[in-house]
Amino acid sequence: MVDVAIIGAGQTKYGNHQLGMKGMWAEAAVNAFDSVDKDFQPNQIDEAYIGSVAFGGGQLGNTAALLTEHTGMQGKPVRRVENACASSGFALRDAWMAIKSGQADVVIAGGIEKMNDLTPERKRFWLGVSGDTEWERLAGLTFPGTYALMARRYFHEFDSTHDDLVNISVKNHYHGLDNEVAHIRKDVSFDKAKNGFMVADPLTLYDCCPTSDGASCVILAADHVVSQFTEDPVWIKSSAAASDYLALHDRPSITQLMATQKAAKRAYSMAGISAEDVDIAEVHDCFTIAELFATEDLGFTERGTGGHFARENRGRRNEGTTCINPSGGLKSKGHPLGATGTGQTVEIFKQLRNEVESTRQVRDANIGLSHNVGGSGATCSIHVYGRDRD
Amino acid sequence: MVDVAIIGAGQTKYGNHQLGMKGMWAEAAVNAFDSVDKDFQPNQIDEAYIGSVAFGGGQLGNTAALLTEHTGMQGKPVRRVENACASSGFALRDAWMAIKSGQADVVIAGGIEKMNDLTPERKRFWLGVSGDTEWERLAGLTFPGTYALMARRYFHEFDSTHDDLVNISVKNHYHGLDNEVAHIRKDVSFDKAKNGFMVADPLTLYDCCPTSDGASCVILAADHVVSQFTEDPVWIKSSAAASDYLALHDRPSITQLMATQKAAKRAYSMAGISAEDVDIAEVHDCFTIAELFATEDLGFTERGTGGHFARENRGRRNEGTTCINPSGGLKSKGHPLGATGTGQTVEIFKQLRNEVESTRQVRDANIGLSHNVGGSGATCSIHVYGRDRD
């Protein structure tokens, strides 16, 4: 079976963009093309997968064709993949399978979202529909409210308080401080994060990711063509995904994401590693409680000990055991829904190749992981990356 | 490389449904499960791909997780695929590649659309965004208007008149008359179709497909597990896809779809056949002129002779050379956007297995083809099917 490598990766800065959908996509795509070490032409791409949720606030259609035609991929098979906030994590998975299938040698996977030209009501709508509509959204539950319920229950079941979430927020802002593509670059103190504006009790503004615009993309290649493009690829050692009940009330427990646990088990098994082998992980911290869950569900710490992991700073860059969210995560780097999944891959690609800003480079990182979640855990994709092919 | 077969296929009736998204999906999925000859359980499915454009008028999100969880596929990797009206044609392609990749043995590909609870304005919106927005939709061009421009140019360039389109409409209504899942089951005379209410000159009501609700799905299996489920599979002999410029003015010609031509060339080559070998073809006749183009672009007749093909009834069931749209096509069977692609496959599966209503069974059909188009030709997927594996 063919192995799959990443030969290039690029993105826009995340934030409040003046650029529209086509402009943002072009910037991310050209950055990815330019990152390929040897000569690369976009018409060498055989197939394209683009993740997006709100496709320009719902004003543009047929977006995959629209976005690829003016970035040199005219005529290629293209499609949009939508899975709420896990859209480009699944675009990456499907791109990986396209190469595995033998039908394509070079494939692009990307994601894009334009949120900041929407009215506040439309922003809330596009976030809200990622969770359950019939039992949650239409009953008035907001997306922060959903995660607030999960946090409250977690504090009830385990030895943890909001202070642990504050620690996660402080760490992610610290990690993102020097990240040139991050949306929120602020040195945030424990006191400031602890006493932030209340959004959905117990989650304050500092527990919630911002609403970002942005685009990201990665270029994948089959093992037999990799050396045409680079001598320094990052290999995708595994791809796994799973789903869960959309509405919280259908799940046996709301203090863990079963989709993450299932996908992680498969991803580690396929890559031939265990959680301890992971040096850096970009995890889906749409809210700080989501990162706490992820550290448990991905096996970096035992169930019920995510609070300890956070308060002992075990996820901190070059200090802890596994660096969690070296980019700053969704909290600091930002969360342009459909762009987030492949944006995580861009960070892992650059970290493993020692190409990020020197002040935030993780030392001796060989194995990376990305973890992209849709809704409140209804869908999840996980990828494991390595410097070595085997 | 693993070969891929269809082991089951089912759909709802197309039309104005009382059922919502979940109900329609359940009906299509259960019909597909029940169509499998031997014992089949939905938890045997490894991966799911669901095509949808308007996802319940934009009121429901995370639809792939939502739809699969209550049809026995809890926990599986699922995603929505969106490519305008070609959404489920690409869902099928990606499902096919998932099996080819060795990552899955049993995969479901389906599609769904709920159009008829939308206001007329929202219906127009969801159809309009499938074409170009910046240069066409926002300038006032409707989707029927787009195809009307293409028809007028075709009549200017070649030996053809609106009467040829009338013939296509009459044929498709005739084909769909006894189809129990068809939306419009009417015996339509040449005079009636010729003198229909004008929608966008020269296209009358009888040149335009209806706005339908519906869902469809097909179950695919890898060669090494097929015999667990059936002794009578239909093999997918090839899958190919392509794209084109979204806006008409960017294309060198608006009287042909280059995406169809590119994909057809690859599909025939991979299947080891030529156009003459195709016995039945479900083609994307959102407007009658689109079927005329398809007969040329798919190679059933030479460029410029699509009018002759239509007026000589060469696409008529058990009379012509290749039966075009045995189901009645989008014109008569209906067009629930995201459901249309895999709905075409349902028809081919049943025709090749001699399982449709006896009055509309195509005799001695061994090779089938489905042709699904997004927008006015911006995306296209083509699949070739056969009774024999090789």
Residue B56 predicted with pLDDT over 70: no
| Strand blocks (E) in chain A | 4-11, 47-51, 78-82, 106-113, 198-200, 203-204, 214-222, 234-243, 280-282, 323-324, 367-374, 379-386
Give me the sign of the Cα torsion angle A244, A245, A247, A249.
negative
Q: H helices within chain B, ranges in order?
A: 21-35, 63-69, 87-100, 120-128, 143-157, 162-176, 190-194, 226-229, 258-271, 288-297, 306-311, 329-332, 340-352
The pLDDT, as a whole number, for residue A126 is: 75
The pLDDT, as a whole number, for residue A118 is: 77
**Residues in B touching A379 (Cβ below 8 Å):** 62, 64-65, 77-79
**Residues A99, A52 share a domain:** yes
User: Burial code of B107-130, b = ≥16 C-beta within 10 A, e = fewer?
Assistant: bbbbbbbbbbbbeeeebebbbbbb
List the helix and strand counts (H, then E) for chain B.
13, 12
Residue B161 predicted with pLDDT over 90: yes
How do strand B198-200 and strand B214-222 relate by DSSP bridges? Answer: unpaired
In order of B116, B193, B197, the CA distances from B206 in angstroms are 19, 5, 8
Would A136 be classed as within a structural domain?
no
Q: H helices within A179-246, ranges in order?
A: 190-194, 226-229
Query: Quick check: B79 and A94 CB within 8 A?
Result: yes
Query: In this structure, what is the dihedral angle of CA atoms B259, A93, A218, A40, given to the nearest 10 degrees?
Result: -50
The model's pLDDT over A332-379, given as tens digits with 9 standing for 90+, comes to: 999 999 999 999 999 999 999 999 999 999 999 999 999 999 999 999
Q: What is the C-alpha separation between A226 and A57, in angstroms, rounded? A: 37
Distance from CA of A102 to the nearest CA of B (A): 7
State which H helix or E strand residue A330 sits in.
helix A329-332
Q: What is the C-alpha separation between A244 and A375, in angstroms, rounded? A: 10
The pLDDT, as a whole number, for residue A229 is: 98
The pLDDT, as a whole number, for residue A156 is: 98
pLDDT band at A285 (very low <50, low <70, confident <90, very high): very high
Tokens 């001598």 correspond to what residue? Answer: A231
**Residues B322, B310 share a domain:** yes
**Residues A164, A68 share a domain:** no
Bridge partner residues of B198 (DSSP): B204
Q: What is the C-alpha separation between A52 and B208, in angstroms, rounded? A: 30
Residue B127 predicted with pLDDT over 90: no
**Residues in B touching A243 (Cβ below 8 Å):** 64-65, 68-69, 73-78
Q: How many CB pairs under 8 A join A and B?
A: 198
Residue A1 predicted with pLDDT over 90: no
How do strand A323-324 and strand A4-11 relate by DSSP bridges? Answer: unpaired
The pLDDT, as a whole number, for residue B365 is: 97
Which residue of chain A comes nearest to B244, CA vs CA? Answer: A75
Over residues A246-257, the mean pLDDT reads 96
**Residues A165, A28 share a domain:** no
Cis peptide before B210 (omega within 30 of 0): no
The pLDDT, as a whole number, for residue B32 is: 98
Residue A62 predicted with pLDDT over 70: yes
Residue A58 predicted with pLDDT over 70: no
pLDDT band at A59 (very low <50, low <70, confident <90, very high): confident
The model's pLDDT over B307-326, given as tens digits with 9 standing for 90+, comes to: 999 999 999 999 989 999 99
Residues sharing a CB contact under 8 Å with residue A120, sequence separation 6 or more, in sequence order: none
The model's pLDDT over B69-109, given as tens digits with 9 standing for 90+, comes to: 989 999 999 999 999 999 999 999 999 999 999 999 999 99
The pLDDT, as a whole number, for residue A259 is: 98
**Residues in A touching B100 (Cβ below 8 Å):** 100-103
pLDDT band at A390 (very low <50, low <70, confident <90, very high): confident
pLDDT band at B130 (very low <50, low <70, confident <90, very high): confident
**Residues B377, B273 share a domain:** yes
Distance from CA of A264 to the nearest CA of B (A): 13
pLDDT band at A131 (very low <50, low <70, confident <90, very high): confident
DSSP annotation of A132 reads -
When scoring B88, B107, B246 by the number of chain A Cβ atoms within 10 A, the one with the most, hence best to mutate, is B246
Which residue of chain A comes nearest to B4, CA vs CA? Answer: A101
pLDDT band at A57 (very low <50, low <70, confident <90, very high): low
**Residues B225, B366 share a domain:** no
When scoring A46, A138, A243 by the number of chain B Cβ atoms within 10 A, the one with the most, hence best to mutate, is A243
**Residues in A touching B263 (Cβ below 8 Å):** 77
Known catalytic membership, residue A183: no
The pLDDT, as a whole number, for residue B57 is: 63
Would A356 be classed as within a structural domain?
yes
Half-sphere exposure of A87 (CA within 13 A, CB side): 33
Over residues B243-250, the mean pLDDT reads 96
**Residues B65, B174 share a domain:** no
The catalytic position among A173, A183, A335, A371 is A335
Would B299 be classed as within a structural domain?
yes
Smallest CA-to-CA distance from B110 within B75, B60, B73 is with B73
Domains contained in chain A, number = 2
Which residue of chain A comes nearest to B259, CA vs CA? Answer: A75
The model's pLDDT over A211-226, given as tens digits with 9 standing for 90+, comes to: 999 999 999 999 999 9
How much of chain A exceeds pLDDT 90, in percent? Answer: 90
Contact indicator for A55, B236 with CB cutoff of 8 Å: no
Over residues B330-352, the mean pLDDT reads 98
Would A130 be classed as within a structural domain?
no
Residue B147 predicted with pLDDT over 90: yes
Give Dmax (Cα) for chain A. 56
pLDDT greater at residue A362 or residue B124: A362
Would B128 be classed as within a structural domain?
no
Among the residue ranges A310-314, B133-137, B259-263, the one predicted with the least confidence is B133-137
Smallest CA-to-CA distance from A325 within A164, A136, A172, A151 is with A172
**Residues in B touching A79 (Cβ below 8 Å):** 81-83, 87, 90, 94, 379
Q: What is the C-alpha separation between A70 and A227, in angstroms, rounded? A: 27
Would A349 be classed as within a structural domain?
yes
Query: Quick check: A243 and B83 CB within 8 A?
Result: no
pLDDT band at B126 (very low <50, low <70, confident <90, very high): confident
pLDDT band at B115 (very low <50, low <70, confident <90, very high): confident
The pLDDT, as a whole number, for residue A123 is: 77
Among the residue ranges A18-22, B4-8, B205-209, the one predicted with the least confidence is A18-22
When scoring A55, A78, A101 by the number of chain B Cβ atoms within 10 A, the one with the most, hence best to mutate, is A101
Q: What is the C-alpha separation between B296 and B168, in angstroms, rounded? A: 14
Smallest CA-to-CA distance from B344 within B251, B185, B216 is with B216
Residues sharing a CB contact under 8 Å with residue A19, sequence separation 6 or more, in sequence order: A12, A27, A213
Among the residue ranges A12-26, A126-140, B262-276, the one predicted with the least confidence is A126-140
Query: Quick check: B243 and A64 CB within 8 A?
Result: yes
Q: What is the C-alpha separation between A265 and A276, in angstroms, rounded? A: 13
Query: Quick check: A128 and B61 CB within 8 A?
Result: yes
**Residues B252, B106 share a domain:** no
The pLDDT, as a whole number, for residue A88 is: 98
Smallest CA-to-CA distance from B7 within B77, B90, B75, B107 is with B107
Residues sharing a CB contact under 8 Å with residue A57, sequence separation 6 or more, in sequence order: A114, A115, A117, A118, A122, A126
Query: Quick check: A243 and B65 CB within 8 A?
Result: yes
The ipTM (two decimal places) reads 0.97
The pLDDT, as a whole number, for residue B233 is: 98
**Residues B79, B148 share a domain:** no
**Residues A229, A181 share a domain:** no
The pLDDT, as a whole number, for residue A121 is: 79
Known catalytic membership, residue A286: no
Q: Which of B98, B126, B246 sits opposite A66 (nearest CB)?
A: B246
Which residue of chain B comes nearest to A64, CA vs CA? Answer: B83
For chain A, give the mean pLDDT.
Answer: 96
Neighbours of A305 (CB within 10 A): 18
**Residues B227, B196 share a domain:** no
Tokens 């429901």 correspond to what residue? Answer: B60
The pLDDT, as a whole number, for residue B129 is: 79
**Residues B158, B88 share a domain:** no
Query: Quick check: B61 and A101 CB within 8 A?
Result: no
- What is the separation, in whole angstroms, between the first and last Cα of chain B? 13
The pLDDT, as a whole number, for residue A296 is: 98
pLDDT band at A119 (very low <50, low <70, confident <90, very high): confident
Residue A32 C-alpha from the chain's centroid: 17
In order of B105, B131, B238, B265, the CA distances from B273 in angstroms are 26, 32, 10, 10
Residue B25 predicted with pLDDT over 90: yes
The amino acid occupying position A5 is A
> Annotated active-site positions of B, please?
85, 335
For chain B, give the mean pLDDT.
Answer: 95
In order of A39, A44, A233, B225, B274, the CA distances from A100 in angstroms are 24, 17, 17, 19, 28
Residue A184: give its domain's CATH number.
3.40.47.10
pLDDT band at B133 (very low <50, low <70, confident <90, very high): confident
Would A133 be classed as within a structural domain?
no
Query: Quick check: A62 and B83 CB within 8 A?
Result: yes
Would B390 be classed as within a structural domain?
no
Task: Give B286: exposed, middle or buried? Use CB within 10 Å, 0-12, 13-18, 19+.
Answer: buried
The model's pLDDT over A153-200, given as tens digits with 9 standing for 90+, comes to: 999 999 999 999 999 999 999 999 999 999 999 999 999 999 999 999
Q: What is the C-alpha separation between A321 and B54, in angstroms, rounded? A: 45
Domain span holding position B63 = 4-118+212-234
State which H helix or E strand residue A62 sits in.
none
The pLDDT, as a whole number, for residue A231 is: 98
Among the residue ranges A67-71, A152-156, B259-263, the one predicted with the least confidence is A67-71
Q: What is the C-alpha separation between B287 and A46, in angstroms, rounded? A: 30
Neighbours of B224 (CB within 10 A): 10
- Report residue B198 as tokens: 């004008």
When scoring B82, B134, B261 by the number of chain A Cβ atoms within 10 A, the one with the most, hence best to mutate, is B82
In order of A267, B22, B65, the CA distances from A380 in angstroms are 12, 21, 10
Q: Which of A78, A98, A244 sits opposite B243 (nearest CB)?
A: A78
DSSP annotation of B300 reads S
Query: Quick check: B130 and A259 CB within 8 A?
Result: no
